[in-house]
């Protein structure tokens, strides 16, 4: 009865983790949630007003499936203003979130047996979306020593005649890595030698960069790759807009048309109200975005201090996004106060929820065993309480010989 392709797909681990937290809370358990990656504050009032005004003025109907002309024009202005990239509106397609655009871009371009290069650690949905098209995710490991960034020679070694895409996410979920201009230049140089390989750039965290680090869009430095690049972005993170579901792709017309073809036969269009609010967000004052970035930066700084105090945890400082990707390998081999033996990052994740009441996500889900992802898109109070609980749970661990760990 069910599609054989589903055999290669698991539920999104971040969505599964959120569901687990919701279920535990419904049972009355107190849980500190470091799982889901979404801003913990509301959409700015002027943007909400934009949505309400749209409803009151009758924008309650289907829109063009590629997005309203007004929103595509606002996206074109945004790409020009913030990324110095010129796109016509027929090179832009709006979807129900960036996730929807990535999914449909793969559906529009992949055939059975095609390969997509996915640098690890990766955002959980990329490999499964590729597998759903009967194509093959080719995972390329990026070491902690390299700051979790894709090495050009590793990319070159992974390319075959069947490679159709490289998906590059900067700033990165889960590692927080932000590629520099030079690093992108080196990656683009490899791609130049392989015309069959397209580049998908997921730039959804572009505004959340810290210590003066700047987000560089790969197309800024490699305009020659434009005919085979799809830039993906969305409003979810920058404008605390996750529930409105608006994302977009900008790229070659022939690809954009085919993504739109799939939209006409599936979702029809993104919500009219959300599209109108997105215009207000993109064209309006950008202070809410810069304030969110500074807030996340201060939380990141505090999280780094707290991690440094816990024996057995270590972390490369993320330059962007709102996650820390924490190395927990030194905890492996220990026994918890409740007698659980820690053999993997999944065990450590379970230990944190069961013995500290803190929910996190295992690095294995991101293609990187030995690590945990913790989202700091949550209040400073929760961050303090969560790390205090982790610190005391870890202090209660013993080496298998019965010695205290720390």
The residues binding ligand GLU (CB under 6 A) are: 12, 14-15, 36-38, 99, 124-125, 173
Judge contact between 377 and 39, C-beta under 8 A.
Answer: yes
12 contact choice in ligand GLU, ligand PMP, none (CB below 5 to 8 Å, kind-dependent) = ligand GLU
Residue 211 C-beta: closest distance to ligand GLU, Å: 23
Please give the residue ranges that form the binding site for ligand PMP (CB under 6 A). 37, 97-99, 123, 169, 173, 202, 204, 234, 236, 242, 247
Q: Quick one: what does residue 297 bind among ligand PMP, ligand GLU, none, with the CB cut-off 5 to 8 Å set by partner type?
A: none
Closer CB to ligand GLU, 38 or 382, in the complex: 38
Q: Name the β-bridge partners of 315.
A: 326
Decide: 232 and 247 in contact? Cβ < 8 Å.
Answer: yes
User: C-beta of 202: minimal distance to ligand GLU in Å?
Assistant: 10
Q: Could you tell me if residue 148 is left (phi over 0), alpha (psi between -120 and 50 degrees) or otherwise beta?
A: left
- The item of ligand GLU, ligand PMP, none sharing an interface with residue 202, based on CB under 5 to 8 Å by kind, is ligand PMP
Q: Which is nearer to ligand PMP, 147 or 234 (CB)?
A: 234
Nearer to ligand PMP, 78 or 99 (CB): 99
Is there a contact between 136 and 184 (Cβ–Cβ < 8 Å)?
no
| CA separation for the pair 272, 61 (Å, rounded) | 7
Q: Which residues have CB under 8 Å from 45's CB, separation 6+?
A: none
Taking CB within 5 to 8 Å according to partner kind, which of ligand PMP, ligand GLU, none is near residue 36? ligand GLU
Q: Which residue is nearest to ligand GLU (CB)?
A: 37
Closer CB to ligand PMP, 38 or 185, in the complex: 38
36 vs 295 by CB, closer to ligand GLU? 36
Peptide bond preceding 354: is omega within 30 degrees of 0, i.e. cis? no
CB of 355 to ligand PMP, least distance (A): 28
Instruction: Quote the CA–CA distance of 359 and 93 in Å, as a whole number.
Output: 36
The answer to whether the beta carbons of residues 76 and 88 sit under 8 Å apart is yes
What are φ and ψ of residue 251, in 5° steps? -175, -165
Of the candidates 95, 71, 68, 49, which has an alpha carbon nearest to the alpha carbon of residue 282?
71
Q: Which does 247 bind (CB under 5 to 8 A by kind): ligand GLU, ligand PMP, none?
A: ligand PMP
């Amino acid at each position: 009865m069910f599609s054989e392709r589903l055999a290669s797909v698991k539920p999104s681990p971040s969505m599964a983790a959120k569901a687990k937290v919701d279920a535990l809370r419904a049972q009355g358990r107190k849980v500190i949630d470091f799982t889901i990656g979404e801003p913990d504050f509301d959409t700015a009032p002027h943007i909400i007003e934009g949505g309400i005004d749209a409803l009151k003025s009758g924008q309650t109907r289907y829109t063009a499936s590629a997005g309203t002309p007004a929103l595509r024009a606002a996206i074109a202005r945004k790409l020009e203003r913030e990324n110095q990239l010129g796109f016509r509106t027929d090179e832009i397609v709006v979807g129900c979130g960036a996730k929807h655009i990535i999914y449909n871009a793969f559906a529009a371009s992949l055939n059975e047996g095609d390969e997509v290069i996915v640098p690890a650690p990766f955002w959980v949905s990329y490999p499964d979306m590729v597998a759903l098209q009967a194509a093959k995710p080719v995972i390329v490991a990026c070491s902690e020593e390299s700051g979790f960034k894709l090495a050009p020679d590793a990319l070159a070694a992974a390319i075959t005649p069947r490679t159709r895409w490289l998906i590059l996410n900067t700033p990165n979920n889960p590692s927080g890595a932000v590629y520099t201009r030079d690093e992108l230049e080196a990656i683009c140089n490899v791609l130049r030698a392989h015309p069959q390989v397209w580049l998908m750039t997921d730039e959804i965290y572009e505004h959340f960069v810290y210590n003066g680090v700047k987000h560089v869009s790969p197309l800024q430095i490699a305009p020659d790759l434009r005919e085979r690049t799809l830039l993906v972005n969305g409003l979810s993170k920058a404008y605390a807009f996750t529930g409105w579901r608006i994302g977009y792709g900008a790229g070659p017309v022939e690809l954009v048309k085919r993504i739109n073809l799939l939209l006409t036969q599936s979702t029809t269009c993104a919500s009219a109200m959300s599209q109108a609010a997105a215009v207000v967000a993109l064209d309006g004052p950008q202070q809410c975005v810069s304030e969110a970035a500074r807030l996340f930066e201060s939380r990141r700084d505090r999280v780094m201090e707290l991690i440094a105090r816990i024996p057995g945890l270590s972390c490369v400082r993320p330059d962007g996004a709102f996650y820390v990707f924490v190395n927990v390998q030194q905890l492996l081999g220990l026994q918890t106060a409740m007698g659980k033996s820690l053999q993997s990052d999944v065990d450590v994740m379970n230990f944190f929820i069961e013995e500290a009441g803190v929910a996190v996500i295992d690095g294995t889900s991101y293609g990187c065993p030995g690590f945990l992802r913790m989202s700091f898109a949550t209040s400073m109070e929760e961050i303090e309480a969560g790390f205090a609980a982790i610190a005391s749970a870890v202090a209660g661990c013993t080496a298998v010989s019965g010695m205290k760990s720390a």
